[in-house]
Amino acid sequence: MRSAAVVGTGLMGTSVALALSRQGIQVFLDDADTTAARTAEALGAGSLDAPDGPVDVAVLAVPPAHVGTALKECQERGLARTYTDVASVKERPYQDVLMAGGDPGRYVGGHPLAGAERSGPLAARADLFEGRLWVLTPVEPADRGALNQVLELVALCGGTPVIMDAAAHDRAVALTSHAPHLVSTLMAARLAEADGEHIRVCGQGLRDVTRIAAGEPALWGDILEANAEAVADVLEACAADMERTVAALRALHGADGGPRRRAAADLQETLRRGTRGAARVPRKHGAGPVEFATVPVAVPDQPGALARLFATVSEAGVNIEDVTIEHAVGRPTGLVELVVERSSAEEVRRLIDARGWTARDHAPLVARN
Amino acid sequence: MRSAAVVGTGLMGTSVALALSRQGIQVFLDDADTTAARTAEALGAGSLDAPDGPVDVAVLAVPPAHVGTALKECQERGLARTYTDVASVKERPYQDVLMAGGDPGRYVGGHPLAGAERSGPLAARADLFEGRLWVLTPVEPADRGALNQVLELVALCGGTPVIMDAAAHDRAVALTSHAPHLVSTLMAARLAEADGEHIRVCGQGLRDVTRIAAGEPALWGDILEANAEAVADVLEACAADMERTVAALRALHGADGGPRRRAAADLQETLRRGTRGAARVPRKHGAGPVEFATVPVAVPDQPGALARLFATVSEAGVNIEDVTIEHAVGRPTGLVELVVERSSAEEVRRLIDARGWTARDHAPLVARN
């Protein structure tokens, strides 16, 4: 790939353009909003000139509802040989492409899983896609050449490509992005008219839960509309769980005996299901569940012994995840089990031996997420 | 204050003990869980010995439901002159104190707004409360001396005290902590049985929304039960909004004409209410809304002029928050308005003048959150 066009110089388009320019690709920028386009140009994202002939790839970084008409229009003026987009829904834009009469043979839908709190070209970053997943949804008539061109674009931006069906993608993002956006919004909406003194009493949890609710309403309206059915399915199930939780809380407040015990059990089950779900969220791309190992150590039962053990381990830069202490009655030592990351366990054992502690060699592995 | 006792050496208790020990206070630790107590001791949080006489303040860092009985028990053995707790609800523990026959005259309820993802003494930090709010809920019989002793404790831990009614506190945390915990839990619960390939397609938003859902179910069950009615009120309103949102999404998918337009308008209104609510969440303790200033600059309409302007401003370490560009038709210059933090505006104007750009002196202030 030698040349690219970016149509739409908002956050996503300008970030793609910056990433490609940094890799030496000649990038042409196009946006009806001349402030955005000139800002992107001033940031070094590319040129506002029109290309002399078709570029290798054009990235349609326009709202989901405009992808179909933008593709048709760009193909008519021969802007590029291959086209992709960055819309966060994929089924509807593809239908729009067909409806608008664009050529689906040179179009591969795309959705980079990256974003920022602010929108517009000033929030753009060349490394926005570094290490992020980038879903591609090629549909049958799209040829292999077009797919490979877009795979190269993703690689140049530092993303990790994932090929999916458009419909599966849309159900996935309904669950992992669109419904969470609405859940965050609905919680934040409760604060819109609340007492300021009450809101002051807030911790990091509220900040985290409501952060994405600050997203641009117009943009999110488009996204949600384009994936309305799949989002409604997730949110409806969530609302039903919420009603049950309200009922359990009311029973915990007002009921006694059996109904109260059942309400407490219901609430526990919901909380546990939540921890199971939260544990499945990938905390870092590519990072699987961290494996832990238990390192048992015999520790003399005397003041400061445990403190010296902790100091020894933390000097090595190893985090102690958990600890259990057992005392054998009438014995001068206790058995301490340190839970550490598996990759550090060997080092901890060596260190402990070197300091004259007795590390046992039995070390069962525990997988935690 | 010279001495303190910490009853319960979990995350909160051990963090208080570490903070006080660092300030030279003699700290006595007490926990029925000897592993937790010995771990806290090994971390340098204090001593496991029993104090010779009453300490100045005892901190009851036990689950909310145990505060009442713990106070009674500690007062009977004369552990301290003044007592406080760290439970995240305040009305119920106070009622429990009265019910258990404890002396409320030397007890001041407390709730430090701090926490961590992990629980237990190993997650404790001496600076956990640094710069955090710490609500105190003194009730009439509590004497001034007790309140001042607890205020000193908060100051020693680096917290910012806030005095509130217990009932107002409980309504506040229902809104800002307990309902958000359940909202996060209910979203995370949707992931518990979802397709792993779908969950892989997740961005930072889902991580943020579901982070607190990883909290310990048993602990949260206690907290929610102790504040069940106030939490149910918030969650019920949230569930009603959610049902309406589901209906709007269904109409956006299936309806046409007027019903569809009304659904789109409903969804926009919800999204906008969410952004208003999110904007009210204090992003940092004490940080008010940031004020922005607009710096208008006349820029020659020639290639690279805008890029040089951006470079000039960013060399000064100033972030451009927004930009507008106006072109006067037939004129060789355009007017660019840079929006920057008010505190940087003067510097930007000086810099621009120094480089020979024309900064206008008109600079309306814009307040944003």
- The yes-or-no verdict on residue B233 having pLDDT over 90 is yes
Which pLDDT belongs to residue A258?
A: 93
Task: Give the model confidence (pLDDT) of A42-93 as tens digits.
Answer: 999 999 999 999 999 999 999 999 999 999 999 999 999 999 999 999 999 9
At residue B5, the 3 state secondary structure works out as: strand
Q: Distance between CA B238 and CA B175 in Å, rounded?
A: 11
pLDDT (mean) for B140-162: 93
Q: What's the whole-model pTM score?
A: 0.78
Distance from CA of B205 to the nearest CA of A (A): 6
Residue A131 backbone phi and psi in degrees, to 5: 75, 5
Q: Distance between CA B242 and CA A183 in Å, rounded?
A: 8
Query: Which letter does DSSP use for residue B215 in this model?
Result: S
Q: Do A211 and B278 touch (CB under 8 A)?
A: yes
Q: Do A187 and B238 touch (CB under 8 A)?
A: yes
Q: What average pLDDT is seen over chain B?
A: 89
Helix (H) or strand (E) holding A90: none
Q: Do A325 and B34 touch (CB under 8 A)?
A: yes
Which pLDDT belongs to residue B346?
A: 86
Of A54-68, A192-206, B315-329, B355-369, the range with the lowest mean pLDDT is: B355-369
Which residues between 71 and 110 in chain B have a beta carbon less than 8 angstroms from any beta carbon of chain A? none
- The yes-or-no verdict on residue B251 having pLDDT over 50 is yes
Size of the A and B interface in Cβ pairs below 8 Å: 397
Q: Is the domain B3-164 a CATH 3.20.20.70 member?
A: no
What are the beta bridge partners of residue A300? A333
Q: Distance between CA B115 and CA A98 in Å, rounded?
A: 52
Where is pLDDT greater, at B298 or B27?
B27
Where is pLDDT greater, at B63 or A6?
A6
From residue B263, alpha-carbon distances to B243, B245, B266, B366 in Å are 13, 9, 5, 33
Which pLDDT belongs to residue A364?
A: 40
Nearest to A194 by CA among B282, B222, B142: B282
**Topology given in CATH for the domain delimited by A3-163:** Rossmann fold (3.40.50)
Q: Which CATH number fits domain A171-279: 2.40.160.100, 1.10.4160.10, 3.80.10.10, 1.10.3660.10?
A: 1.10.3660.10
Which pLDDT belongs to residue B41?
A: 95
Q: Do A41 and B188 touch (CB under 8 A)?
A: no
Query: Which letter does DSSP use for residue A178 in this model?
Result: I
Q: Counting runs of H as helices and runs of E as strands, what totals does chain A give?
A: 14, 12
Nearest to B137 by CA among B178, B92, B103: B92
Contact B189, A273 (CB under 8 A): yes
- The yes-or-no verdict on residue A328 having pLDDT over 70 is no
Where is pLDDT greater, at B36 or A318?
B36
Task: Give the model confidence (pLDDT) of A280-322 as tens digits.
Answer: 998 754 444 567 888 888 887 776 778 888 888 887 788 888 8
pLDDT (mean) for B252-279: 95
Q: What average pLDDT is seen over chain A?
A: 89
Distance from CA of B60 to the nearest CA of A (A): 21
Confidence class for position A220, pLDDT limits 50, 70, 90: very high
Which pLDDT belongs to residue B360?
A: 58
* Burial state string for B202-211 with b = 16 or more CB within 10 A and e = fewer than 16: bbbbbbbbbb
Task: Give the model confidence (pLDDT) of A156-168 as tens digits.
Answer: 999 999 999 999 9
Which pLDDT belongs to residue B286?
A: 44
The verdict on B162 touching A (C-beta cutoff 8 Å) is yes
Q: Do A249 and B229 touch (CB under 8 A)?
A: yes
Share of chain B above pLDDT 70, in %: 93
- The yes-or-no verdict on residue B366 having pLDDT over 50 is no
Which pLDDT belongs to residue A330?
A: 60
CATH superfamily, domain at A291-367 = ACT domain (3.30.70.260)
Nearest to B209 by CA among A206, A269, A227: A206
Q: Distance between CA B149 and CA B219 in Å, rounded?
A: 28
Which pLDDT belongs to residue B284?
A: 59
pLDDT (mean) for B12-39: 96
Which pLDDT belongs to residue A332?
A: 63
> Hey, which of A157-171, A315-329, B111-125, B280-294 has the most confident mean pLDDT?
A157-171
Domain ranges of chain A: 3-163, 171-279, 291-367
Share of chain A above pLDDT 70, in %: 93
At residue A207, the 3 state secondary structure works out as: helix
Of A259-263, A320-324, A345-349, the range with the lowest mean pLDDT is: A320-324
Confidence class for position B104, pLDDT limits 50, 70, 90: very high
- The yes-or-no verdict on residue B110 having pLDDT over 70 is yes
Residues of B in contact with A115 (CB under 8 A): 203-205
Residues of B in contact with A202 (CB under 8 A): 113, 176-177, 281-282
Where is pLDDT greater, at A288 or B51?
B51
Q: Distance between CA B75 and CA A256 in Å, rounded?
A: 31
Which pLDDT belongs to residue A329?
A: 57
Q: Where does chain B have alpha helices with state H?
A: 11-22, 34-42, 67-76, 91-100, 144-156, 166-173, 179-189, 196-200, 204-210, 217-226, 228-254, 257-279, 305-315, 342-354
End-to-end Cα spacing for chain B: 40
> Hey, which of B147-151, B341-345, B355-359 has the most confident mean pLDDT?
B147-151
Task: Give the model confidence (pLDDT) of B84-96 as tens digits.
Answer: 999 999 999 999 9
- The yes-or-no verdict on residue A325 having pLDDT over 90 is no
- Beta-carbon contacts of residue B297 (< 8 Å; ≥ 6 apart): B309, B335, B336, B337, B338, B352, B357, B358, B359, B360
Among partner residues A190, A213, A322, which is closest to B238 by beta-carbon distance?
A190
Residue pointed to by tokens 């707790």: B85
Which pLDDT belongs to residue A122?
A: 92
Confidence class for position B332, pLDDT limits 50, 70, 90: low
Nearest residue in chain A measured CA to CA from B224: A249
Q: Do A172 and B201 touch (CB under 8 A)?
A: yes
Confidence class for position A359, pLDDT limits 50, 70, 90: low
Nearest residue in chain B measured CA to CA from A197: B172
- Token representation of residue B225: 């039960």
